C-alpha cells in the first residue's frame, strides 16, 4: 500500500457563545478511523502534516486545525480562549467535519484539550 499524500485545506466558520472563530485546517479523506491532531501552544496544524507520509496510516482520514489565536485561525475575542473553550472548538470542528469516532492526539495545550474532551464526552 502506498501512502496517500494529498491533504486539503479547509475553513470552518463557527460561533461559540458570542465569539466568532474562523478555523483553518487540513484534512485528508480515508476509510480508516480518522486521526485528529490538536497542537500545543505556539504551534500550528502543520506540525502534524507529515503523518500523511506514513504508509501504515494511509487508509486513515486525517484532521488537524489551528487553534484559535494560532496559525491561520482567527478569533473575534482572544480573551475568551481557555482550555474549556478549546474543548468546545474541538467539538464544533468534529461536528462540522461529520467525525464521530476518531483517534485523538494532542501535544501540550492540545493534549490537555484532548484529555478534557474525553472527560466531557463521557458526561454528555
20 falls within a domain: yes
Does 1 reside within a domain? no
2 lies in some domain: no
Measured CA to CA in angstroms, residue 14 lies from 50, 74, 76 at distances of 27, 10, 11
| Domain ranges, residue 72 | 8-123
Question: Is 90 among the domain residues?
Answer: yes
Q: Which residues of the chain have pLDDT under 50?
A: 1, 123-124
pLDDT at res. 123: 45
Distance CA 72, CA 51 (A): 20
Per-residue model confidence (pLDDT) at position 124: 44
Domains of the chain: total: 1
What pLDDT sits at residue 65?
98
User: What is the predicted pLDDT for the residue at 116?
Assistant: 87
Query: What local confidence, expressed as pLDDT, does residue 119 receive?
Result: 66
- Grid cell in block for residue 116: 478534557
Predicted local distance difference test score (pLDDT) of residue 6: 86
Q: What confidence score (pLDDT) does residue 45 get?
A: 97
Q: What is the CATH number of the domain that holds 17?
A: 3.40.50.1820
Amino acid at each position: 500500500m502506498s501512502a496517500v499524500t494529498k491533504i486539503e485545506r479547509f475553513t470552518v466558520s463557527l460561533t461559540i457563545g458570542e465569539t466568532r472563530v474562523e478555523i483553518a485546517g487540513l484534512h485528508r479523506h480515508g476509510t480508516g478511523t480518522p486521526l485528529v491532531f490538536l497542537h500545543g501552544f505556539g504551534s500550528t496544524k502543520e506540525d502534524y502534516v507529515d503523518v500523511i507520509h506514513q504508509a501504515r496510516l494511509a487508509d486513515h482520514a486525517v484532521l488537524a486545525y489551528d487553534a484559535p489565536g494560532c496559525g491561520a485561525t482567527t478569533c473575534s475575542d482572544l480573551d475568551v480562549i481557555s482550555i474549556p473553550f478549546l474543548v468546545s472548538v474541538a467539538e464544533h470542528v468534529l461536528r462540522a467535519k461529520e467525525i464521530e469516532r476518531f483517534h485523538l492526539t494532542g501535544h501540550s495545550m492540545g493534549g490537555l484539550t484532548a484529555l478534557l474532551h474525553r472527560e466531557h464526552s463521557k458526561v454528555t
